[in-house]
């Protein structure tokens, strides 16, 4: 029996534009989110790692989410990151999302302490979910150990699914290890396994995965949608392969320099709005030479 | 010429007690801080890694600091941790401390992103210090890469000292590499180098270091004070060695299990208040067998 995952599709790990004073540009951000949907994304996973969420204050994060909802984007299309280092603040951010009708969130584990036990991570997620106490909530766990420093193990995920079957419904796996995604699919049928790395979308969908939450979607959402929609259609194989190759080319260029500032600079090149190029410290904008090099290579992309 | 470091002495990396609902116990915490001072600490570096600061919300952190000040402890004796992942919140926590007359803080770099450049870390600290804009502020940089995942390099520290000579006045070096502390002392005369690891207090003070901010001070503050006061007095060498040996014995036992919950459990054993044993998730209390084993070994300590 095939169990359909509850969260499926192409989600964009949306980047966040800044004003000259490094405050978030709420208007440009909402327009960017709308464009991502217009280009084919099923939803926008705003305020993730690519979105520099943890460089923003709780107040700024709430303003960004409210700005998008007020701009008219349906709450059912939004999946904000709400996991921070302190449990009460993860609870507060998630409750705030729910108050706006946003019922799906991507949730990092507490990420300050490293080497913590699965018992400790289970306790943290359990306390958060129980404190929120809202049956509408659907949580996508966030496994990105190369940034957060805190991995989510297969047994931990199984314990969370068993304890909260209607809440712990998926995972964003950004570790880039396809074997881990296959293990998740095999172990937990119906659990939404979403790739955090663009090159893995096609193999993951073919293997029964639920979709992706990726950075390159800021640039080539339509191609990701093509891959997602037609991955298992033999008649479309050539078009799908071409779309995945295009995605991979953008991804490869974005990794030439530090990825997040480069993605932002590429959105600036795509849209003609140079303010996109600026991240918030500790991330730094590309230097002028690298920016010029990037622009030349960007112009050659398919 | 010897330049006297501005921040010197034995500071306690105070642990934070919780109520049954895992909220911080403000009264017990203030009493603990007063006891640490009574036992010989020059000051209390509350809300650090041992204090589980990043597991508390901004509101809880502010309440803990206010509670200590309201309990009558002089703000000049307090050195709270105020560095979090988001610059505006580091600014807010530091301004709050200054509003209470607390002018010295221990400041982590933004710690979500890993592998960030020295330029990015410099920009982050510079933006924070400039946004606060208060000449009273004295910042102790916080180098604890094994937890934060973000190291502060020698050149970065030099750039911060050069740019903010009256603000970037010291470092808590918790990496446990004595060579790094020696390099700091040699490169930056007058910069306060404070050991984050108890066993290094004696060698560091002998080498011209400014003191310590350590976890074992929650248990053996008087011994740390003995080492600090008499480290370079040949007539006191035996007493100093004995004090350092006592410190090391407590430290060694605290590292038998996960350190922070074990330190808390040991404070509980020392004071007879069992509620100390509970940390906030993702840290977990020792299981009953380990707690019993710890109690037996604790009773044997010098």
Each residue's pLDDT tens digit, A272-294? 999 999 999 999 999 999 999 99
CA dist list (Å): B141 to A97, B15, B82, B170, B254: 35, 20, 10, 6, 25
Q: Give the percent of chain A with pLDDT over 90.
A: 98
Two structure tokens written together for B127: 């933006």
pLDDT band of residue B89 (cuts 50, 70, 90) is: very high
Rounded to whole angstroms, the Cα distance separating A269 from A259 reads 15
Q: Residue A148: its chain B contacts at CB < 8 A?
A: 112
| Predicted local confidence at residue B181, as pLDDT | 97
Is B228 considered catalytic here?
A: no
- With a cut of 0.90, is the ipTM above it? yes
- The whole-angstrom distance between residue B261's C-alpha and the CA centroid of its chain comes to 16
| Predicted local confidence at residue A2, as pLDDT | 64
pLDDT band of residue A4 (cuts 50, 70, 90) is: confident
Using an 8 Å CB-CB cutoff, list residues of chain B that contact chain A.
Answer: 22, 49, 54-60, 84-89, 92, 109-114, 116-117, 119-121, 123-124, 127, 146-150, 258, 260, 280-284
User: Is the pLDDT confidence value at B120 over 80?
Assistant: yes
Each residue's pLDDT tens digit, A22-80? 999 999 999 999 999 999 999 999 999 999 999 999 999 999 999 999 999 999 999 99
User: Is the pLDDT confidence value at A250 over 90?
Assistant: yes
B88, B260, B281 member nearest A123 (Cβ)? B281
Would you say B129 is a known binding-site residue? no
pLDDT mean across residues, chain A: 97
The nearest alpha carbon in chain A to B91 belongs to A57
Best probe of the A interface among B113, B129, B260, by most A CBs < 10 A, is B113
pLDDT band of residue B2 (cuts 50, 70, 90) is: low
Q: Residue A60: its chain B contacts at CB < 8 A?
A: 86, 88
Contact assignment for A116 to B86 by CB distance below 8 Å: no
| Predicted local confidence at residue B4, as pLDDT | 87
Nearby residues of A296 by Cβ (< 8 Å), 6 or more positions away: none
Q: Where are the domains of chain B?
A: 9-235
Task: Find the farthest-apart pair of alpha carbons in chain A and give their distance in angstroms, rounded.
Answer: 55
User: Is the pLDDT confidence value at B125 over 90?
Assistant: yes
Nearby residues of A279 by Cβ (< 8 Å), 6 or more positions away: A18, A52, A55, A260, A261, A264, A285
Residues of A designated as active site: 142, 172
Contact assignment for A57 to B147 by CB distance below 8 Å: no
Nearby residues of A111 by Cβ (< 8 Å), 6 or more positions away: A83, A84, A85, A148, A149, A150, B112
| Predicted local confidence at residue B3, as pLDDT | 78
Contact B289, B257 (CB under 8 A): no
Shortest CA gap B148–chain A (Å)? 6
Nearby residues of A235 by Cβ (< 8 Å), 6 or more positions away: none
| Predicted local confidence at residue B81, as pLDDT | 98
Mean pLDDT along residues B212-241: 96
Q: Which CATH superfamily is domain A9-235 in?
A: Aldolase class I (3.20.20.70)
**Axis-axis angle for helices B118-132, B154-163 (nearest 10):** 30
| Predicted local confidence at residue A126, as pLDDT | 98
pLDDT mean across residues, chain B: 97
Contact assignment for B87 to A281 by CB distance below 8 Å: yes
User: Is the pLDDT confidence value at B1 over 60?
Assistant: no
Contact A261, A284 (CB under 8 A): yes
User: Is the pLDDT confidence value at B265 over 70?
Assistant: yes
pLDDT band of residue A165 (cuts 50, 70, 90) is: very high
Contact B156, B124 (CB under 8 A): no
User: Is the pLDDT confidence value at A10 over 60?
Assistant: yes
Contact assignment for A57 to B88 by CB distance below 8 Å: yes
The nearest alpha carbon in chain A to B145 belongs to A114
Each residue's pLDDT tens digit, B12-51? 999 999 999 999 999 999 999 999 999 999 999 999 999 9
């Amino acid at each position: 029996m095939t169990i359909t995952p509850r969260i499926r599709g192409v989600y964009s790990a949306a980047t966040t534009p800044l004003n000259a004073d490094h405050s978030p540009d709420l208007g440009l951000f909402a327009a960017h989110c709308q464009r991502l949907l217009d280009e084919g994304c099923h939803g926008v996973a705003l305020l993730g790692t690519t979105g520099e969420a943890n460089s923003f204050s709780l107040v700024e994060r709430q303003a960004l989410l409210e700005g998008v909802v007020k701009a008219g984007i349906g709450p059912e299309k939004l999946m904000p990151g709400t996991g921070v280092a302190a449990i009460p603040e993860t609870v507060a951010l998630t409750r705030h999302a729910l108050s706006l009708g946003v019922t799906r969130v991507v949730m990092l584990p507490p990420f300050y302490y490293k080497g913590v036990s699965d018992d400790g991570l289970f306790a943290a997620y359990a306390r958060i979910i129980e404190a929120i106490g809202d049956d509408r909530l659907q949580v996508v766990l966030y496994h990105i150990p190369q940034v957060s420093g805190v991995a989510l193990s297969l047994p931990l995920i199984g314990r969370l699914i068993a304890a909260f079957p209607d809440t712990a419904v998926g995972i964003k796996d950004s570790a880039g290890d396809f074997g881990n995604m296959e293990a998740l699919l095999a172990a937990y049928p119906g659990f939404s396994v979403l790739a955090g790395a663009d090159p893995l979308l096609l193999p993951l969908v073919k293997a029964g995965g639920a979709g992706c939450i990726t950075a390159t979607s800021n640039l080539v959402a339509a191609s990701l949608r093509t891959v997602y929609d037609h991955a298992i259609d033999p008649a479309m194989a050539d078009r799908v392969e071409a779309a995945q190759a295009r995605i991979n080319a953008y991804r490869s260029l974005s990794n030439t320099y530090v990825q997040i500032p480069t993605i932002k600079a590429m959105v600036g090149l795509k849209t003609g709005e140079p303010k996109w190029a600026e991240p918030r410290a500790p991330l730094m904008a590309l230097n002028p030479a690298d920016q010029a090099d990037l622009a030349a290579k960007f112009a050659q992309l398919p």
